[in-house]
Amino acid sequence: MKYTFDIVGVSPILDFFSHQQQSQENRQSEGVEYLGSHKCTLDAFLETMEPVPSKWGWNMDEVVDTVVQFWINNSESISYWKSRLTDAGKDNLLVARVADIKALKSEFNYLLGEG
């Protein structure tokens, strides 16, 4: 399986948890997880994703490697999002997405009305 990781934005805490609740009820996004963190650090995101691989049967080593590679190769993007999180204040989370690439493609197709 191949995985992808990306930072997708900043969200108020309550909005993020509401989205998470809706996602659990409408499991059309199996294999795609959105993670929220108060900090823009590699360690913070690795900590938030600990329960995810066992939930989907993912290979934890490959998932961690994907996240680490993102952190190594995207310092400009990480700096940008770290600034946006600071600007947004303490009642917000930085939101990232980790996914099995096939599941993410299916989710995009669903959102575009192609699935």
> With bands split at pLDDT 50, 70 and 90, how would you rate the model's confidence at 112?
confident
Q: Which two tokens stand for residue 107?
A: 């989710």
CA distances from 53 to 12, 19, 64, 83 (A): 25, 20, 10, 29
Chain segment 61-107, per-residue pLDDT in tens: 999 999 999 999 999 999 999 999 999 999 999 999 999 999 888 87
Domains of the chain, by residue range, sit at 3-111
What's the confidence (pLDDT) of residue 114?
67
**Do residues 104 and 2 touch, judged by C-beta distance below 8 A?**
no
pTM of the model: 0.87
Q: Which two tokens stand for residue 65?
A: 């490697």
> With bands split at pLDDT 50, 70 and 90, how would you rate the model's confidence at 41?
very high
> With bands split at pLDDT 50, 70 and 90, how would you rate the model's confidence at 56?
confident
- Residue 115, pLDDT above cutoff 60: no
pLDDT mean across residues, the chain: 89
The DSSP code for 31 is T
